[in-house]
Amino acid sequence: MNSLPPEGEREASVPQVSVKTRGSYSLLHRYIFREFAQNFAVAFIFFFCIFFINSILLLVQKILLKNIDFITMLEMVALSMPQFLIYTFPFASLAASSMVLGDLGSSNELLAMRSSGIPSGQVYRPLIAASVILSFVTFFFADTVLPWSSVVYEDRLAVLMQEMPTFEIESNSVNTVGNIVLSNGLSEGNEIHDIVLLSADDGESRTVLSERGELELIDSYNYIYSLSLDKPTILITDSSDIDSYGLTDAESAVFFLDFSEQIPSLTSSAPVNLSSRDLIAGIKERDGREREDRAEWHWDMEDERLSLSSVLKAASRGEAGREDIAAAASDAASAIESRGKNPPRNFYSQYYKAELTKKFVLSAACFCLTLITLPLSMFRVKHGKLTGFAISLLIAVAYWYMLFGVQLQIFNISSSPYWLIALPDLTILLAAILLMLRFRRAR
């Protein structure tokens, strides 16, 4: 017959039992984090294709298929990727979190966790931690990788343009770039024969015929070529008047072909591809110019008011007639209207400030968009992953339109655009907090 242990021994054994039954949530965290990572990979591929494929097809069509090797093509594609990744990370984190919570809810796993005494915060913790990590990753790509890849891309593109012509000059071929069409016969290096050149610009069409010419790249940065022709015949016609034309012959002629607008530069030195340090430096420089322009505007407005005031004072003393007053008032009103009612804003200052804010906004979007998916854990949904993904698409579209909309308004406001660009993140964050509070009260 077993006897009970002495009372002191029983009391000593209680803390040991409680330590073993308490356990930890590391297994739960690893499970949710693994589910998040798997769903993130699927969502990442989906959103990356949406942002990337269309532009890459354009790039391949216009440049990368022009007599370059496959390795170089992959290199150019890889260099253009970072600008799409800064949008892909936030939306992929949104979809991954929605799919994880939707799947846990549809399989009653969340209900089982609550019944076992596991707080919802332990379920949210790995999702929030993953979103914070992705926020830092997004900012790294936006502030470091994207500016670097932009510079390398431009340098590599310039080298490629020196190594290959924009026109693929082959014997007996017809090439079209933009509004320029070149037909030629025999081709030997840069020398071509039996040339027919067609171009149109501002309603004017030009047809050039020549038996021989040479095509040479003269500006590899702006992609400008010179076409030297022997004994050309030039016909110029007006599309609005078929009876109007000009015909001339020459011993020689040189035409300059500008293809700069036809090169699909996916990356450039535009503010969107600058680092935050370069943007801050650009903002300081342009703010200085803006202060000078605004000071000049105020001085000009004051001069107009003083001029009008002097005429009115002269009229009060009988030194100016009504016609003088009317003329001075009209001139002052015209000058004020031409300068606008508000002091001028520097276009690029607003642009730089918007792009600087957008780097932080898109990075923080990983956290904000993940946070708004947490209320999904408060109720059960059918077809968890599919429903979660559908909800994430709706939120992603709404966020995208908000971000696009506020960017269009940055030049219509008189103040700095920092808060305006941050509005999508603030809206999502506020909606997430309100939804969480509502569902918590409903429980």
pLDDT of residue 359: 94
What would the pLDDT profile of 118-135 be if each residue is shown by its tens digit?
A: 887 888 899 999 999 999
Sign, CA dihedral 115-118-120-125, equals: negative
Strand partners, 430: none
Nearest-angstrom CA–CA distance, 362 and 295? 35
Please compute the mean of the pLDDT values over residues 368-381 and round it to a whole number.
82
Query: In this structure, is residue 149 part of a structural domain?
Result: yes
Cα separations in angstroms, 143 against 52, 292, 352 = 19, 30, 14
Does residue 208 have a pLDDT over 50?
Answer: yes
Domain closes at, from 350, 384, 413: 350
Written as six digits, the tokens of 63 are 């440049």
Q: Tell me, yes or no, whether 224 and 289 share the same domain.
A: no
pLDDT of residue 175: 74
In three-state secondary structure terms, 243 is strand
Query: In this structure, is residue 205 part of a structural domain?
Result: yes
Q: Tell me, yes or no, whether 247 and 319 share the same domain.
A: no
- HSE-up of 13 (CA within 13 Å, CB side)? 7
pLDDT of residue 94: 94
Residue 428 CB coordination number (10 Å) = 23
Query: In this structure, is residue 83 part of a structural domain?
Result: yes
User: How open is the CA angle 34-39-45, to the nearest 5 degrees?
Assistant: 130
Q: Tell me, yes or no, whether 153 and 33 share the same domain.
A: yes
CA 187, distance to chain mean position in Å, is: 42
Query: In this structure, is residue 17 part of a structural domain?
Result: no
* Percent of the chain whose pLDDT exceeds 90: 23
Q: Tell me, yes or no, whether 188 and 253 share the same domain.
A: yes
Would the pTM count as exceeding 0.75?
Answer: no
Nearest-angstrom CA–CA distance, 146 and 150? 6
Query: In this structure, is residue 178 part of a structural domain?
Result: yes
Q: Which of 20-34, 48-62, 394-408 holds the top average pLDDT?
A: 394-408
Question: Hunting for tokens 């932009």 — which residue is that?
Answer: 150
Q: Tell me, yes or no, whether 248 and 221 share the same domain.
A: yes
Number of domains in the chain: 3
Q: Tell me, yes or no, whether 147 and 44 share the same domain.
A: yes
Query: In this structure, is residue 18 part of a structural domain?
Result: no
Give the chain's mean pLDDT: 78
Does residue 349 have a pLDDT over 80?
Answer: yes
Q: Tell me, yes or no, whether 229 and 130 share the same domain.
A: no
Nearest-angstrom CA–CA distance, 90 and 318? 72
Output helix, strand, coil percentages for the chain, rounded to the nearest 5.
Answer: 65, 15, 20
Q: How many residues does the chain have?
A: 443
Query: In this structure, is residue 12 part of a structural domain?
Result: no
What would the pLDDT profile of 308-321 be if each residue is shown by its tens digit?
A: 677 666 666 665 66
Nearest-angstrom CA–CA distance, 263 and 158? 11
Q: Tell me, yes or no, whether 119 and 181 share the same domain.
A: no
Q: Tell me, yes or no, whether 341 and 363 share the same domain.
A: no
In the 3-class helix/strand/coil scheme, how is 309-342 assigned residue by residue?
HHHHHHHHCCCCCHHHHHHHHHHHHHHHHHHCCC
Does residue 358 have a pLDDT over 90?
Answer: yes
Mean pLDDT is lowest, of 31-35, 202-206, 230-234, 368-372, for 202-206
Does residue 367 have a pLDDT over 90?
Answer: yes
Domain closes at, from 328, 350, 372: 350
What would the pLDDT profile of 152-204 be if each residue is shown by its tens digit?
A: 887 787 676 655 545 556 777 777 766 778 888 888 877 888 888 888 776 67
* Percent of the chain whose pLDDT exceeds 70: 72
Q: Tell me, yes or no, whether 149 and 179 share the same domain.
A: no
Mean pLDDT is lowest, of 48-62, 117-131, 272-286, for 48-62
pLDDT band at residue 261 under the 50/70/90 scheme: low
Nearest-angstrom CA–CA distance, 410 and 390? 31
Q: Tell me, yes or no, whether 367 and 410 share the same domain.
A: yes
pLDDT of residue 6: 54
Q: Which of 12-16, 135-139, 206-210, 259-263 holds the top average pLDDT?
A: 135-139
Domain closes at, from 322, 350, 378: 350
Q: Tell me, yes or no, whether 239 and 362 share the same domain.
A: no
Query: In this structure, is residue 2 part of a structural domain?
Result: no
Does residue 26 have a pLDDT over 80?
Answer: yes
Residue 291's domain comprises 274-350
